[in-house]
Homo-oligomer: A and B are copies of this chain.
Amino acid sequence: MTKAVAAPDRTCVRVELGERSYDILIGPGLIADAGAQIAARLNGINAAIISDETVAELYLPILREGLAREGIESTDIVLPAGEKTKSFEHLIEAAHGVLEARLERGDAVIALGGGVIGDLAGFVASVVRRGMRFVQIPTSLLAQVDSSVGGKTGINTGHGKNLIGAFHQPALVLADTAALDTLSEREFRAGYAEVAKYGLIDRPDFFAWLEDNWPQVFTGGPARIEAIATSCRAKADVVAADERENGKRALLNLGHTFGHALEAAVGYDGRRLVHGEAVAIGLVLAHEFSARMNLASPDDARRVAAHLKAVGLPTALGDIDGDLPAPDILMHHIAQDKKVKRGKLTFVLTRGIGQSFIADDVPSSEVLGFLKEKHPQ
């Protein structure tokens, strides 16, 4: 994609995973239309909708109306909004809710919300009766371009994020692009970091297109649909090649090793740093570190930083409010990250815009030295 193609009002991205293949429909109005879309594909089911308080208030009534019109009975399970909901406690609450509704294996769990609800509801769908059908209705930009694609589900524990979970593919994903209009600008920008990430992984033309067209992605319309569809396609390609994350899928972690360490460093305090913001900084750091390792040109790192800054994202450690832990503590968080294999550091590095690759055996001394340079104190 080298120019802004006038996207149609609704787009379909197919995720090819053999008998687990499914469609992602992208466009405005899909929440109201979900009942019809689901009824057309999943015969004679009932459903449990899992949502959070914020999203339920905005969209649960239209969703339930549409389901009822098609004769789909639904129960709803509304949980608090926020990352803390991805816990054993709420997993148990939601699983009990689904069982209480006497749903069977062929029935569906529907996630209506951002990535938190999608991850939790997908895990619920995966474990109740050893696997129920699952429909994703992602309502945040991050969920539409990232968490709803690929089948990773899970919750957090005291030991870290996403340490308990399952791979469980949805039967259908409905990304209502108009629902993003009620998302806070900060959350939209955070999700945008993941959109930019796909360009940086292996789609340099897409990154260039974003540099030109990002304002239209933010305001809505065809450019937004196009950006979401391209992102879903990019993620779906990687997932199809490596469903269970044994190899290539690790590319999706571009910017995330640094990003996760920063999230841990601020104690997952969303007021200071939400995930996409951490990823934005992580993307810049990954390019800068690649330049330091003489793999890429420092110009690429500057170009990445310039674009993310233009959309209003943080791009350096110094952009984080408040004090950061010392470099060796950040290093410790990096080593804790689950992308560590048998004590060696695995990093996604890059040879330039859209030329990322997986590097094993990155010396931790180099990383520590780099963090010392970049640290604001």
Shortest CB-to-CB span from A101 to chain B, Å, is 10
Shortest CB-to-CB span from A46 to chain B, Å, is 10
Number of copies: 2
A21-29, A126-134, A189-197, A274-282: which one contacts chain B? Answer: A126-134
Which residues from chain B contact A338 at a C-beta distance below 8 Å?
104, 129
Inter-chain contact B158/A341, CB cutoff 8 Å = no
A359: CB under 8 A from chain B?
no
Question: B-facing mask of A336-357, CB < 8 A → 1, else 0?
Answer: 0010111000000000000000
Which residues from chain B contact A370 at a C-beta distance below 8 Å?
none
Inter-chain contact A166/B126, CB cutoff 8 Å = yes
Inter-chain contact B130/A165, CB cutoff 8 Å = yes
Known: A96-B158, A99-B157, A159-B100. A167 touches B244 (CB 8 A): no
Separation of A340 and B104 alpha carbons in the complex (Å): 9
Separation of A89 and B167 alpha carbons in the complex (Å): 23
Most buried by B among A92, A127, A157: A127
Question: B-facing mask of A361-376, CB < 8 A → 1, else 0?
Answer: 0000000000000000
Shortest CB-to-CB span from A45 to chain B, Å, is 10
A188: CB under 8 A from chain B?
no
Q: Which B-chain residue is minimally distant from A123 (CB atoms)?
A: B127
Inter-chain contact B163/A128, CB cutoff 8 Å = yes
Which residues from chain B contact A163 at a C-beta distance below 8 Å?
99, 128-129
Inter-chain contact A167/B130, CB cutoff 8 Å = yes
From B95, B152, B167, contact of A157 by CB (8 A): B95
Which residues from chain B contact A158 at a C-beta distance below 8 Å?
96
Separation of A159 and B129 alpha carbons in the complex (Å): 11
Inter-chain contact B152/A341, CB cutoff 8 Å = no
Shortest CB-to-CB span from A292 to chain B, Å, is 28
A62: CB under 8 A from chain B?
no
> Besides A99-B159, A127-B164, 6 other CB < 8 A contacts?
A95-B164, A100-B159, A128-B164, A129-B163, A130-B165, A166-B166
